[in-house]
Amino acid sequence: MSTTEYLDKLTIDQLRYARDEADRRIKKAESMPKKIVWTISNKWMNIAWYREEEFEKAYQRWVKEIEKAGPDKLEKMIKERHSTTALDVVTLEALYENEVEYEEWFK
């Protein structure tokens, strides 16, 4: 049963309770400490992602992806003044997620 189908079956009082309960849970999740998801991306898609404590693995993978592309891409970017996105230069980014969203990255 979808959330919408479930909500369609509730009374007004039940809907109000569900709304208030959802609001409490959202506030609790938002107040929790954030954890880092390390993402390796080429701006078009994520190539890999790592848990907060796996920062060394994330860094090593990022270096591997940069080396795989070789210095030619960067030289071309400098010479032809292309944007990094156009050349798919790989980035390493830190995303800060609350516990619920953090775990979703690794399912």
Tell me the domain boundaries of the chain: 1-31, 33-107
Per-residue pLDDT, 50: 97
Q: Is the pTM of this model over 0.75?
A: no
Write out the two tokens for 5: 């189908």
DSSP state of 43: S
Per-residue pLDDT, 84: 56
- What is the pLDDT confidence band of residue 36, given thresholds at 50, 70 and 90? very high
Write out the two tokens for 31: 């107040």
Write out the two tokens for 100: 């619920």
15/8 Cα distance (integer angstroms): 9
- What is the pLDDT confidence band of residue 86, given thresholds at 50, 70 and 90? low
11/86 Cα distance (integer angstroms): 53
pLDDT of 43 above 80: no
